[in-house]
Structure 1
Amino acid sequence: MKFVHRFAYYLIGLVMGCFFVALVFSGKDTRCNYFPNARVLNSLRTKPFQYSEKAIKTLNEKWVDTSDVRKTLTFGDVDFDQSNIPFQKGKLYIIEGKTANNQEIILRVINYENKAILDDIVKKDK
């Protein structure tokens, strides 16, 4: 069998295999969160998210807004030395991130089984 024929069979098999893999994984909500930071942030993002009175008061000061909070919950860094502590029947997580104006912030989020509450937003001291 010539190389051209073998290569054609290879491409046909590759295309069919890619089609079946895409068919199997397209309907599922699969995520590859292998690292602890990604797991915690994904857990907080997928739950119903609420704001405490203190957090709402800070948001009303206009130096930070909800888009900054969402960005921090997506790209932030969880401080595991101060996090994963039992707190008010949930677990407290300290997440460091930045606002759109490059102001460093710290979010205190309480993670419950069925919801997550943003407890406080603090400017990080440099």
Structure 2
Amino acid sequence: MKFIHRLGYYLGGFSIGLIVLAFFLSGKKTSCSYGPEARVIKNINSKKLVYSQNAYSVLTQNTLDTTKLNAAIKHGNIIFSKSETRKEPCASYYLENTIDDKNVAITIENCDSIATVTHLKILE
């Protein structure tokens, strides 16, 4: 079989596979969270988020909104060197992001069924 025929069969099968894959994955909430940071953020966002009294007071003092804080958590950067990932019974993660041009540091305690924002600090 000539090379051009083999290439034609390969490209034909590849294109059919792409069409089938696009058909099966369309309409579903599929995502690929391969990195450790993406997996942790996805895990935190899949749970009910509760705010401690300390975090809520910082929110009200700085006139920040919980929806903006949720967006900051969703797109935040986890600093694993400042996190306690092996802490029992709930791991504690340290995130940094910006809200309304303010740098914030967020500490989240990630338990089995609930995630709690324990500390919120406005960085300079």
Which structure 1 residue ranges, 5 or more long, are not aligned? Answer: 1-6
| 3-state SS of 2:121 partner | strand
How much does 1:68 deviate?
2.6
| 3-state SS of 1:86 partner | coil
Which residue in 2 is equivalent to 1:112? 111
Q: How many residues align?
A: 116
Q: Distance in 2 between matches of 1:113 and 1:42?
A: 13
Is 1:121 matched with 2:123? Answer: no
Deviations 1:48-106 (A, max 9, x none): 1111111121222143221331222122110101111416x201100001012x11000
How much does 1:23 deviate?
2.4
Deviations 1:5-58 (A, max 9, x none): xx9xx78x83x5444212222354321111111111111111111111111212
Which residue in 1 is equivalent to 2:95? 95
Q: Distance in 2 between matches of 1:33 and 1:51?
A: 25
Indicate the larger mover: 62-71 or 113-122: 62-71
Identity value in percent: 23
Q: Is the 8 A contact 1:68 1:98 kept in 2?
A: no
- Please report the TM-score for the alignment, with normalisation by the length of structure 2: 0.78
Q: Distance in 2 between matches of 1:106 and 1:63?
A: 16
Which residue in 2 is equivalent to 1:30? 30
Which residue in 2 is equivalent to 1:50? 50
Q: What is the root-mean-square deviation of aligned Cα atoms in Å? A: 2.5
- One-letter code aligned to 1:39: R
Is 1:82 matched with 2:82? Answer: yes
Q: Distance in 2 between matches of 1:41 and 1:111?
A: 10
Q: Distance in 2 between matches of 1:62 and 1:103?
A: 10
- Please report the TM-score for the alignment, with normalisation by the length of structure 1: 0.77
Which structure 2 residue ranges, 5 or more long, are not aligned? Answer: 1-7
- One-letter code aligned to 1:79: I
